[in-house]
Every structure is written in structure tokens, then in C-alpha cells.
Amino acid sequence: MNSGDKKYFDALMDKIAVSGTAYHANDAPIITDAEYDALRREANAILAEHPELGEAAQVLEAVGAEPAAGFRKVRHSEPMLSLDNAFGPEDFADFCAKIRRFLGLDATPLHFVAEPKIDGLSISLTYEEHKFIRAATRGDGSEGEDVTKNLLTLQALPRTLPKDAPDQIEIRGEVYMNKADFLALNDSQERKFANPRNAAAGSLRQLDAGITAKRKLAIFAYAQGKSSTPVATTHWGYLQKLKAWGFSVNPLSRQITEAQAEEFQTEIGIGRAELPYDIDGVVYKINDLALQTRLGFVGRAPRWAIAWKFPAERAVTTLLDIEIQVGRTGALTPRAKLTPVNVGGVLVQHATLHNEDEINRKDIRIGDTVELQRAGDVIPQIIRPLLELRPKFAKLFSFPTHCPVCGSIAVRDTDEAVRRCTGGLICAAQITERLIHFCARGAFDIEGMGDKTVLEFYHAGLLKSAPDIFKLHEHETEIAEREGWGKTSAAKLSAAIEARRTIPLPRFIYALGIRRIGENNAKLLARHYGSYENWRASMEAATEIGSDARLELGSISGIGLTIATDLAAFFSEQHNLDTVDALLQHLTITDAQTSGATASPLSGKTIVFTGTLATLARPEAKAKAESLGAKVTESVSKKTDYVVVGTDAGSKAVKAAELGLTVLTEAQFRELAGI
Ligand code: IVH
């Protein structure tokens, strides 16, 4: 990925974090749900193409939609995941190639189950002792809303399961509304839903289940949650069981080989318009469940499935204005304000313009009629202005050279596409965005400290930097007297902050908002250094170029030299050290746990793989070691516990011998890893 695209991606991630917080912490969305979803999907799409950005997937995880007040929260026994996207045969081929690489397969064709991707909302159904006991929405993937009562209004939902079903089983699927029922519903009421998916979501998430009962909702079952005993050995077998148990399983689902996917995709695409319900692509899932288990997950999505989306929908509208948004890192991002237009069932009012070069390259002017595209629900993009329709008054946009928020000069480094505000600590936008990040999910996750509250307190002078958060209780009376507050909510906020005075190391690292340190990288660092003290000392030592500490940091698998430089840059700034020290006055930081697998002999060990392994491809070996709590690094040092040596191992094996390290054969590694 070139640096321009990277900047664009960073800006996109910033925006998701801000809008997500605005939405779920304050119920004060700054963009529409559809736009928010589109942002996330776009980020997912970019992530799917650029695995090197994998850590950002964790940021996405942090900012899911939080349960709406009123429904009981339900913690999913296994996270409800999303899917990576493909937009064409090349993407699909890449997906297959990655699977082969991970598993170390040669040319063996892969076998899939292909299913239409239903445009509804996912649901988890729990059965205990063969009785339906609970339904939950996906929520943020870890925690959803209890919609059991609402689901009970669906006639088609099996209330009991036959004897051959496990005693305890969670079944997942999609609740949707047929197109005809959506149109009829919109006809019958003032409030119009933008599309069947929104109508389904709005109808299901009714506190009064009586309203849900009046709406015609349907359900397709298609995925597994936890179950007390295995149901099948293939996904196809699983679907057959679901059907036998009375669930509705999509009749267009097929078992196919890799080579048949493109044809299937075309076939479903052609039939799409005639289907009674909306679909936005086809999901391809590895059929063999044992292979699914081996493949596992990256971030939010399984390695064993992909959603191949249908091509973009297009529309034409006018560009009313170009707005500039300032993100946490100071990036100035232009956004098109449009005359609202319906693009493939979604009302679009904004589109991304990426950066100033993009505006110039496409020669986009304010007042232009523009062609828009929305691909598989990703954020709408402006393809081109329709020059023949350009009005005389169309105005060239001059990209600001100063931050629209703080007025500081905004500079663009020679190799960068993004212009950044240089205001740093004096830029209200950057300060508040950083504070919002600090309080958000995945970081300190302080309930009630969403972006509205952060902005309010910032402007009231109660909050200037993160350590101030932990002094807010001193102002509780003052807060209680503020408009919209009151004693109860002020006390609730103090309690929510109090509850976060003890914080796990990975969250603390992530909360600092260091460039490129998303949740995943924060976890890697925490796992590697173990304790705050060790991490802090190592980071300060790593500010020196060429130091052992810097080399160690750069050799952590998944971190690398660029990120090491970002960390060093952060710790070279005295004001950052001061802020971290000030925070420490208020906090207890708990040590990182090695991913729940302390029982494993690999837990806490530092491992280097070198040479070719005969039975395990490197990615799978690495993922396995990490899942058992090991740290995998790229270079051998005296801190390395095990060097796993395959055939044709080179200098690393030599160095291991020189240092007298424990060298493992592949078979010994498999034994230690319990494979
Ligand atoms: S499988 C671990 N199958 O798409 C994979 N998902 O973008 C779990 N969806 O959250 C999902 N049709 O709401 C799967 N046949 C299908 C689907 C499907 C629609 C939705 C689902 C999921 C989203 C991911």
C-alpha cells in the first residue's frame, strides 16, 4: 500500500472511531447508520486487501454498535464475527491462495459451500435442553441485545429441537424482511425505512414485541455458535441438520469447488433482482469444519469464509460543498456534501474525497453534477464530475492550508498525500479526538464519556488532557448542575471513571493513541513486555536508534521497524512522558496475560521459526504458537526460548547454536503445541 492510501486508511479509521463513539456512547450520531456501516465496510474491504494493516481490524472491533438501552445485554459465548469482502475473481483467488498458504497446501482445489449473503441483521439463537431460550442481536460482536421476546413472534422459529440435537446449542442466522413486506410496511406508515434491512432491524429491535409481531420478519439459519456436542463434520452437513430441525436454510446454497465460484457468483447475480429478499453478495465457506478450525480467525473475520459482493451501484447527484474534518492525528480529510440521492436502496448525502490530490486529479468542483458509486455498501465515492453539465458558477475548491479548527498551519510532507494540522496540543480537534479515543471502547471504555461529553467538558474547561478525567470527581457537584446532567448522572459518571482506575496493560497502551498502535499491536506489545514498568523502560531505551531495545522492539512479529519508529517518536516527546506519568498517579496497570493458555508449555515463551516445516505452513505454526500464549519473533537473540528449525534453515539456526539456545525439531514443536 502506498503512503497516500495508508493516510486515507488512517483517516477512515479515525472517522470510524469518532462516529462510533458518537453513536453508541451518546446516541448522538454525527453520520447516518448507513454511512457508518459503509465506513466500516470500506475499512474492512481495505483490510481484506492489506493484511499488513491487520491490527486496525481490532480498532473496528472496538467501535461496534453498543446495545441500545432498554434491552438486556447478552454476552455471546463465542464472538459473532463479520466477513472479509471480495469484489471480483482476483480477490476470490487471493482468498483461496491465502488459505492454501496458511495450510501449506499445494494445488489441491478447495471445497466450499456457497450461500447468498442475506441483507438483514444477524441473530444468535440459544437452545438448552432442546428448548429455545434466548435470541440475541450481534451488537458489537461480543455483546448484543436480548431480543428473545421479539423472536418469539416469528412463527417460523423452531421452539424445540429434536432428540438428535445437542443439549446445548447456539445457532446463528439472519433476520430479514421480504421486499414486498418492506414496501407494504412503508406504504402503511409515516416513517419510511430506507431499505428492507433497516426495516428488519427497526422491527426486531422494538421494546414492545407487539410491534415486532405485526411486522413480517423471516429468518435464514446459516452458522454455528457454541454447541455441547459436534453436529456435523462439514458445513453442508450442518445445514442439512438445521433443515431437518425445522430451520429455514437458504434454498440457493450449493456445494461447489473453487473453480465453480465465479460461475455461481454470476448465476446468483443474474437471479438477484427476482429474489423476494435483498442479497448483497455470496458467502463462500470452506466446507470441511476441521479445516475451518485450523484456519481460525484474524481480527473480526474468519480465514475460512469470504463475502463476494456484487458490483457497485451508481447514481448521479450534485456536489453542494466540500467539508474538512480533522482527525486524532491531525489529518485533514475532505468530504463531499451532496444533494441526497438513493444509491441502490441507501440514501447517500456524503461521499469521501480521500485527499486534496484526489479532488484535483478528478477535477471535482463545488456545484458539479457528479457520478457516485457505492460498492457492496462501502462508503460512497465520487467517480467523476459530468463535465457537460458543469454550471458556470462551479467553484474550484482550494484545500485549506490552515486547520479549520485551530487555525494552525497544515503541512503536507513530500511523500504524503495527507495534509496535517501542526497544532498538536493546541488543536481542539486533535485534543478532543484523542480524549474521545482514550475513553472509547477497547481503550478505557468509560461509560458515559462519549464524544458529546468529552466536547462539553473540554469547552467548559473541565478536561484538557487525559489525566484530568481522573480528577473529574472533584467537579461532580459542578457537573451535576450542568444542563442535561443532575446528581444521578454525575454520580454515575464518577463511578464509571472510578471503575477504570485499574486497567489491563494492552488497553492502556492502546488508549495512548500512538500512531499505528491499534488494539492488536497494543496486545502484541503488552504480551511481549508483560508489565507496564518493563514496557515503559524498554520504550524509553528504544528511543535510541540502533539500541538493543529498538532492535528487540522491531523484531517482535507483527511490529516491525516502522511501528518501532512510531513508538520511539512518541516516547521521545517530553510532553508524552509527562502525560503518561501523570496518568500513572491515578492508575493501577495490570500485567498482560498470555492469551489464556497458561497451561501450555509454550505460554510466555519466545519462539523463532526458521527453515521450511514439512507439515505446518509458517502462518499456521505462528498462529498456533500465539494462540498458546507464545511470542513469535523474527530474529534470534539470547532472549529466545525456542528456535524451531525446519529444513534449509540458515543463519538463524547457526546463531541459535552459537547462543546455546534450545532448538526444536518440527515434531518436538508439534508435541509441545499439542497438535
Ligand atoms: S456467515 C463467521 N453467512 O453478513 C461468519 N453471514 O458481513 C459468520 N450474512 O454478520 C457469518 N448472509 O449478518 C454468513 N449466508 C451467510 C450470511 C451472512 C448474511 C451477514 C451476517 C454477518 C455479515 C458479515
556: which strand partners?
633
Q: What is the pLDDT of residues 175-194, one digit of tens each?
A: 999 999 998 988 888 777 87
Instruction: Verify that 236 and 101 share a domain, yes or no.
Output: yes
Would 173 be classed as within a structural domain?
yes
Euclidean distance between CA atoms 521 and 519, whole angstroms = 6
**Residue 649: pLDDT band by 50, 70, 90 thresholds?**
confident
Which residue, of 590, 616, 637, is where some domain finishes? 590
**Residue 108: pLDDT band by 50, 70, 90 thresholds?**
confident
Instruction: Verify that 204 and 253 share a domain, yes or no.
Output: yes
- Closest ligand 1 atom to Cα of 44: 7
Instruction: Verify that 81 and 185 share a domain, yes or no.
Output: yes
Phi, psi of 88 (to 5 degrees): -175, 175
* Range 7-25 burial, b when 16+ CB lie within 10 A, else e: bbbbbbbbbbbbbbbbbbb
Closest CA to ligand 1's atom 18? 117
CA–centroid distance, 498 to ligand 1, in Å, is 38
Nearest to 612 by CA among 657, 650, 648, 644: 648
Instruction: Verify that 125 and 58 share a domain, yes or no.
Output: no
Domain residue limits at 190: 73-309
Q: Is 84 in the pocket of ligand 1 (CB under 6 A)?
A: no
Asked if residue 62 has pLDDT above 80, the reply is no
pLDDT at residue 27, as a whole number: 41
Instruction: Verify that 231 and 332 share a domain, yes or no.
Output: no
Active-site residue among 7, 15, 98, 117? 117
Would 81 be classed as within a structural domain?
yes
Closest CA to ligand 1's atom 10? 82
Give the three-state DSSP class for 2. coil
Instruction: Verify that 516 and 647 share a domain, yes or no.
Output: no
Asked if residue 17 has pLDDT above 80, the reply is no
Q: For residue 244, which amino acid is it? A: A
Q: What is the pLDDT of residues 221-234, one digit of tens each?
A: 999 999 999 999 99
Q: What is the pLDDT of residues 663-673, one digit of tens each?
A: 999 999 999 88
The DSSP result for 262-276, as a single string, is: HHHHHHHHHHGGGSS
Instruction: Verify that 193 and 113 share a domain, yes or no.
Output: yes
Instruction: Verify that 142 and 266 share a domain, yes or no.
Output: yes
Q: Is 431 in the pocket of ligand 1 (CB under 6 A)?
A: no
**Residue 466: pLDDT band by 50, 70, 90 thresholds?**
very high
Which residue, of 309, 342, 371, is where some domain finishes? 309
Q: Is 277 in the pocket of ligand 1 (CB under 6 A)?
A: no
Would 659 be classed as within a structural domain?
yes
Instruction: Verify that 54 and 134 share a domain, yes or no.
Output: no
Instruction: Verify that 40 and 158 share a domain, yes or no.
Output: no
Where are the extended beta strands (E) located within 436-520? Answer: 502-504
Query: What is the Cα Rg of the chain in Å?
Result: 26
Closest CA to ligand 1's atom 1? 223
Euclidean distance between CA atoms 107 and 451, whole angstroms = 51
pLDDT at residue 476, as a whole number: 96
Asked if residue 295 has pLDDT above 60, the reply is yes
Instruction: Verify that 530 and 656 share a domain, yes or no.
Output: no
Q: Is 556 in the pocket of ligand 1 (CB under 6 A)?
A: no
Q: Supply the DSSP symbol for 671.
A: H
Burial class of residue 293 in the structure, from the number of CB atoms within 10 Å of its CB (0-12 exposed, 13-18 middle, 19+ buried): exposed
3-class DSSP string for 28-70: CCCCCHHHHHHHHHHHHHHHHHCHHHCCHHHHHHHCCCCCCCC
Q: What is the pLDDT of residues 113-124, one digit of tens each?
A: 999 999 999 999
If one compares 153 and 66, the residue with the highest pLDDT of the two is 153
- Closest ligand 1 atom to Cα of 301: 2
CATH number, position 157: 3.30.470.30
Q: Which of 40, 41, 81, 82 to mutate to test ligand 1, by most ligand atoms within 8 A of the CB atom?
A: 82
CA–centroid distance, 241 to ligand 1, in Å, is 19
Would 599 be classed as within a structural domain?
no
pLDDT at residue 26, as a whole number: 39
Number of domains in the chain: 4
CA–centroid distance, 375 to ligand 1, in Å, is 17
CA–centroid distance, 361 to ligand 1, in Å, is 37
Q: What is the pLDDT of residues 487-522, one digit of tens each?
A: 999 999 999 999 999 999 999 999 999 988 998 899
**Residue 378: pLDDT band by 50, 70, 90 thresholds?**
low
Which residue, of 590, 621, 638, is where some domain finishes? 590
Percent of the chain with pLDDT over 90: 62
pLDDT at residue 69, as a whole number: 54
Instruction: Verify that 432 and 563 share a domain, yes or no.
Output: no
CATH number, position 36: 2.40.50.140
Q: Is 45 in the pocket of ligand 1 (CB under 6 A)?
A: no
Closest CA to ligand 1's atom 16? 117
Q: Is 169 in the pocket of ligand 1 (CB under 6 A)?
A: no
Would 325 be classed as within a structural domain?
yes
Closest CA to ligand 1's atom 2? 81
Q: Is 439 in the pocket of ligand 1 (CB under 6 A)?
A: no
Q: Is 302 in the pocket of ligand 1 (CB under 6 A)?
A: yes
8 A C-beta contact, residue 366 and residue 392: no
Assessment of whether the complete model's pTM goes beyond 0.75:
no
Q: Is 154 in the pocket of ligand 1 (CB under 6 A)?
A: no
Asked if residue 10 has pLDDT above 90, the reply is no
With both helix axes pointing from N to C terminus, report the angle between 574-584 and 560-572 in degrees, rounded to the nearest 10. Answer: 80
Q: Which of 84, 222, 279, 310 to mutate to test ligand 1, by most ligand atoms within 8 A of the CB atom?
A: 222
Mean pLDDT of 262-266: 96
CATH number, position 616: 3.40.50.10190
Q: Is 298 in the pocket of ligand 1 (CB under 6 A)?
A: no
Mean pLDDT of 421-450: 92
Asked if residue 95 has pLDDT above 50, the reply is yes
Cell representation of residue 64? 461496534
Asked if residue 58 has pLDDT above 80, the reply is no
- Closest ligand 1 atom to Cα of 138: 10
Q: What is the pLDDT of residues 138-159, one digit of tens each?
A: 988 888 999 999 999 998 899 9
pLDDT at residue 25, as a whole number: 44
Would 455 be classed as within a structural domain?
no
CA–centroid distance, 341 to ligand 1, in Å, is 27
Phi, psi of 396 (to 5 degrees): -65, 140
Asked if residue 484 has pLDDT above 70, the reply is yes
The pLDDT mean for the chain works out to: 89
**Residue 562: pLDDT band by 50, 70, 90 thresholds?**
confident
Closest CA to ligand 1's atom 17? 117
Element (H, E) at 135: strand 131-137
Would 467 be classed as within a structural domain?
no
Least confident of 7-16, 97-106, 257-266, 434-443: 7-16
Tell me whether residue 7 is one of the annotated catalytic residues: no
Q: Is 305 in the pocket of ligand 1 (CB under 6 A)?
A: yes
Asked if residue 65 has pLDDT above 80, the reply is no
Asked if residue 598 has pLDDT above 60, the reply is no
pLDDT at residue 42, as a whole number: 82
Q: Is 31 in the pocket of ligand 1 (CB under 6 A)?
A: no
CA–centroid distance, 189 to ligand 1, in Å, is 30
Would 452 be classed as within a structural domain?
no
- Closest ligand 1 atom to Cα of 119: 19
pLDDT at residue 258, as a whole number: 94
CATH number, position 517: 1.10.150.20
Q: How far apart are the first and last CA of the chain?
A: 35
8 A C-beta contact, residue 614 and residue 666: yes
Q: Is 656 in the pocket of ligand 1 (CB under 6 A)?
A: no
Helices (H), 376-427: none
- Closest ligand 1 atom to Cα of 223: 1
If one compares 397 and 425, the residue with the highest pLDDT of the two is 397
